[in-house]
Structure 1
Amino acid sequence: MEEAVEEVVVEVVSPAEVAYALDTFYFLICGAMVMLMAAGFAMLESGLVRSKNTAEILTKNIGLFAIASIMYMICGYGIMYPGDAAMSPYFPGFGSLLGASDNETAAVLAGGDGAPYYSGLSDFFFQVVFVATAMSIVSGAVAERMKLMSFFTFAIFMTAFIYPVQGFWKWGGGWLNEAGFLDFAGSGVVHMAGATAALVGVLLVGARKGKYGADGKVHPIPGANLPLAALGTLLLWFGWFGFNGGSELKISNVGEANAVALVFVNTNMAAAGGAIAAMMFSKILFKKADLTMLLNGALAGLVSITAEPLTPTPGLATLIGGIGGIIVVLSILGLDKMKIDDPVGAISVHGVVGIWGLLAVVLSNSDATLTAQLLGIAAIFLWVAVTSAIVWLVIKLVMGLRVSEEEEAMGTDISECGLEAYPEFTSK
């Protein structure tokens, strides 16, 4: 009796397909790591505000991420990456609505002439968490006195239009990219842009009641939960490996793998340098090791290295982060003297230090020029400041920006959300 011979069909997978799958998977994992930064911002901000505003700040952080995802899908991504639909290097036009066609590249083998080396939708997923990060920066700066719906309304315009246009100028192949402006992972495109929108919002909404005395004296308003703030900082630190590491875009060959390893190391060393420098500088200034300054110092180090984490040595990355840590302490103190009330230090961390990060690119990247970097700083700041001012002012006229004095005293948890995060402990 003859035995049946089962035919085994072996599907041959080309190296290009393996590389495609690996790079797509790496992109998605890095995007998920950056999404964890949303939790980091939520914990950091809820730890640095008073307990009576905790539920509202958490609502803002989760709500803004959902708004950013929807608006970037509807039009933001098409504006930032219009492709052949770009009207000019200055005006992006609109590519198309995000859809299944954006993933047709999954059927294209990598390595061909101009063929992409990862799924189109993986690129969208990675980009959408960046725009949410920019909007998260605004959340903390205007905390404890802005109307929730006014904030969400601004989030719609920020994520659908304001952020994508200046993102197109650099990452979409627009005029800043052609001018030689360098910003590897977004010290300017993401962090300074978010901080600029936050600055305009803070100037229009005003300071919290009791923050500044008539004599100009600054009255500290301590946060309710420093353990949460510390947890948030560590979550952001972790997520930043995806933020910077994913911006290398590939990992499927030896050269790219080595580049990703260097980006990870430099990202970590800059954060460490920023944390230690801020802590020691605060010890010199205040005779105490201020935890909040250490936390903001670590974040400042991360922002400092985001514009160029690939070309510095680990030692130089530590120094760049350390300088950022010192700058953030000086900036937080300086903004308070100017009566610009930022409860979490977001404008200093992401804006002032974001400028430093863009300038620091010239220290290690031979392709960078100070002129191009200054041009990018000015262009992003002016675009976001002007457009944000228009949107904030319209919202102020139509809806109002600030809660009433009574609602502010009661806490935005009750006035905006109708519940308390800590009902047993909140003082009435």
Structure 2
Amino acid sequence: MEALFTVNNLWILVATCFVFIMHLGFASLEAGFVQRKNVVNILFKNSMIISIGLLTYYIVGYNLMYPGDEQLIAGWLGRFAPMDWAAGAIETVDGVAQYAAAAESGATYTGYSDFIFQGMFAATCATIVSGAVAERIKLVPFLIFAMIFVAISYPITGMWKWGGGWLDAMGFYDFAGSSLVHAAGGFAALACIILLGARKGKYRKDGTITAIPGHSMPLAAIGVFLLWFGWYGFNGGSVLSADPNGVSLVFVTTSLAAAAGGVAAFFMSYFMFKTYDLSMVLNGILGGLVGVTAGADSFTGLGAICVGAIAGVIIPLSIVFFDKTLKIDDPVGATSVHGVCGIWGTLAVGIFSTNPEHSFFTQLIGTLSIGAFSFVAAFGIMGGLKAIMGIRVDVEEEIKGLDIGEHDMHAYTASKEDGIFQLTSEG
């Protein structure tokens, strides 16, 4: 029993490292999808989000999300307190840790492992917002937003299911966070975009739309493959043990959904645009990953392919809808990839799950509740910051680039020509 506990705990920590790598994936993806004059700003935000996220989750978020029996409002709100450091350890008797006793009681990992694994998830949720508001948001208000969102909003909705709250009691199911992480982040991003507005020049007065391409598709592609790699820890670690069948099933369903999402986005984007659009395929892969996350442990292989393929079809349709119909300027497609596909994946549990207890209607209530709460919370937080200190850089700084305006540096060797930094031949 002691050896089994050790193996299970080790797998959770390895999975945590995988999820940590996802932050490098987000940083690379977002850096690739923005203009080169804003790369330092994106990398700075991603570096700070993981740092702020872990600290705030330790100080407030963890117990707010996992309150045990000490809930302020039963089923709805946890307790405001730092993680209990002593409670993270396995009980010791005469200096010997009681791992076997812990395993017999049903535990598969220590409280320390639980905190660090869940802390990576919390920071991931805030990272989703970063790319959506890129190239025009002030740095300090964004960091304040990320701190409050990770400390309060994300743990509250997470507690509703994973902390034994009202959605859990209702039978709602979200294995690794299609709604609790991705839809929460996606709809928070939507609220922030609405308050922030589009990038200058994106939508012209005559109704035409100006494409603002990212500066590096290689970086974006690297980011997606790093995210796919990290997702094996995101979903595989959510088995919460090293159970051979459970972990290997999740690896298979995760892989099949990602592949199906990429292929479906390839065909759908070609049908819509008559071109082979790499950005759509990359987002299609991510859409498939987001979609399968809610039921990766309860889908068959064919079910995972269907979930991923539908997510891949959704991606170009949703991106065009937000961009052209609603005039929502999302440089990385976060609202579509994480918000829309997060909802789809959660609903898919009620359609494709092999567990007959999973209900489509319950899934609908859960995902809409989480998305709505996150949207309102993000709107309130960012709206308050907008009123108090302003959230958007001025026009001159936006044109010049946030790298120079906010950080007084640039990502690449550059020369100054006509007031705009351009890559030199050495760059």
Q: TM-score, normalised by structure 2?
A: 0.93
Alignment equivalent of 2:274, drawn from 287, 296, 319: 287
Q: In structure 1, how many angstroms separate the alpha carbons of the residues matched to 2:266 and 2:80?
A: 46
Q: In structure 1, how many angstroms separate the alpha carbons of the residues matched to 2:232 and 2:191?
A: 29
Who is 2:336 aligned against?
348
Find out whether 1:186 has 2:183 as its counterpart: no
Q: Contact between 1:328 and 1:348, CA under 8 Å: does it hold in 2?
A: yes
Q: In structure 1, how many angstroms separate the alpha carbons of the residues matched to 2:104 and 2:76?
A: 27
Who is 2:312 aligned against?
325
Q: In structure 1, how many angstroms separate the alpha carbons of the residues matched to 2:8 and 2:211?
A: 47
Who is 1:4 aligned against?
none
Who is 1:273 aligned against?
260
Q: Contact between 2:90 and 2:102, CA under 8 Å: does it hold in 1?
A: no
Alignment equivalent of 1:415, drawn from 405, 409, 419: 405
Find out whether 1:53 has 2:43 as its counterpart: no
Alignment equivalent of 1:262, drawn from 232, 249, 252: 249
Q: Contact between 1:40 and 1:234, CA under 8 Å: does it hold in 2?
A: yes
- Give the drift of 1:388: 1.4
Amino acid in structure 1 at the alignment position of 2:100 = L
Who is 1:158 aligned against?
149
Q: In structure 2, how many angstroms separate the alpha carbons of the residues matched to 1:226 and 1:188?
A: 28
- Give the drift of 1:397: 1.4
Who is 2:302 aligned against?
315
Q: In structure 1, how many angstroms separate the alpha carbons of the residues matched to 2:99 and 2:155?
A: 27
Q: Contact between 1:267 and 1:302, CA under 8 Å: does it hold in 2?
A: yes
Q: Contact between 2:58 and 2:82, CA under 8 Å: does it hold in 1?
A: no
Q: Contact between 2:2 and 2:103, CA under 8 Å: does it hold in 1?
A: no
Amino acid in structure 1 at the alignment position of 2:374 = V
Find out whether 1:224 has 2:224 as its counterpart: no
Q: C-alpha deviations, 1:355-399, integer Å up to 9, x for none?
A: 100010022232111121111112112211222111111111122
Q: In structure 1, how many angstroms separate the alpha carbons of the residues matched to 2:143 and 2:98?
A: 38
Partner secondary structure for residue 296 of structure 1: helix
Who is 2:94 aligned against?
none
Who is 2:197 aligned against?
206
Amino acid in structure 2 at the alignment position of 1:23 = N
- Give the drift of 1:120: 0.8
- Give the drift of 1:92: 1.5
Stretch moving more, 175-184 or 310-319: 310-319
Q: Contact between 1:82 and 1:95, CA under 8 Å: does it hold in 2?
A: no
Alignment of 1:298-313 (within 5 A): 298-313=285-300
Q: In structure 2, how many angstroms separate the alpha carbons of the residues matched to 1:110 and 1:367?
A: 32
Amino acid in structure 2 at the alignment position of 1:48 = F
Amino acid in structure 2 at the alignment position of 1:291 = L
Partner secondary structure for residue 104 of structure 1: coil
Partner secondary structure for residue 91 of structure 1: coil
Q: In structure 2, how many angstroms separate the alpha carbons of the residues matched to 1:327 and 1:110?
A: 48
Q: In structure 1, how many angstroms separate the alpha carbons of the residues matched to 2:71 and 2:100?
A: 26
* Displacement over 4 Å in runs of 4+: 110-113
Q: Contact between 2:319 and 2:333, CA under 8 Å: does it hold in 1?
A: yes
- Give the drift of 1:115: 4.7
Count of residues paired in the alignment: 409
Who is 2:391 aligned against?
401
Partner secondary structure for residue 342 of structure 1: coil
Q: In structure 2, how many angstroms separate the alpha carbons of the residues matched to 1:375 and 1:85?
A: 25
- Flag the 1:108–1:84 CA change in 2: closer, same or farther, 3 A: farther
- Give the drift of 1:425: 6.1
Partner secondary structure for residue 285 of structure 2: helix
- Give the drift of 1:218: 1.7
Stretch moving more, 363-372 or 344-353: 363-372
- Give the drift of 1:101: 3.0
- Give the drift of 1:97: 3.1
Amino acid in structure 2 at the alignment position of 1:286 = F
Q: Contact between 1:202 and 1:342, CA under 8 Å: does it hold in 2?
A: yes
- Give the drift of 1:107: 3.4
- Flag the 1:425–1:265 CA change in 2: closer, same or farther, 3 A: farther
Q: C-alpha deviations, 1:138-163, integer Å up to 9, x for none?
A: 00000000001111000110111110
- 5+ unaligned residues in a row in structure 1: which ranges? 1-15
Alignment equivalent of 1:246, drawn from 205, 214, 237: 237
- Give the drift of 1:216: 2.2
Who is 2:424 aligned against?
none
Alignment of 1:164-183 (within 5 A): 164-183=155-174
Q: Contact between 1:44 and 1:233, CA under 8 Å: does it hold in 2?
A: yes
> RMSD over aligned Cα, in angstroms?
1.4
Q: In structure 2, how many angstroms separate the alpha carbons of the residues matched to 1:142 and 1:110?
A: 48
- Flag the 1:111–1:66 CA change in 2: closer, same or farther, 3 A: closer
Partner secondary structure for residue 402 of structure 1: coil
**Which entry has the higher C-alpha Rg, 1 or 2?**
1
Q: Contact between 2:59 and 2:81, CA under 8 Å: does it hold in 1?
A: no
Partner secondary structure for residue 215 of structure 1: coil
Amino acid in structure 2 at the alignment position of 1:93 = R
Q: Contact between 1:77 and 1:98, CA under 8 Å: does it hold in 2?
A: no
Stretch moving more, 19-28 or 84-93: 84-93
Who is 1:9 aligned against?
none
Amino acid in structure 1 at the alignment position of 2:151 = A
Who is 1:11 aligned against?
none
Find out whether 1:18 has 2:6 as its counterpart: no
Q: Contact between 1:359 and 1:370, CA under 8 Å: does it hold in 2?
A: yes
Partner secondary structure for residue 76 of structure 1: helix
Q: Contact between 2:265 and 2:280, CA under 8 Å: does it hold in 1?
A: yes
Q: In structure 1, how many angstroms separate the alpha carbons of the residues matched to 2:378 and 2:17?
A: 28
Q: Contact between 1:413 and 1:419, CA under 8 Å: does it hold in 2?
A: yes
Q: C-alpha deviations, 1:49-108, integer Å up to 9, x for none?
A: 000000000000010110001000101001101112113111222354341332235634
Q: TM-score, normalised by structure 1?
A: 0.93
Who is 1:146 aligned against?
137
Who is 1:35 aligned against?
20
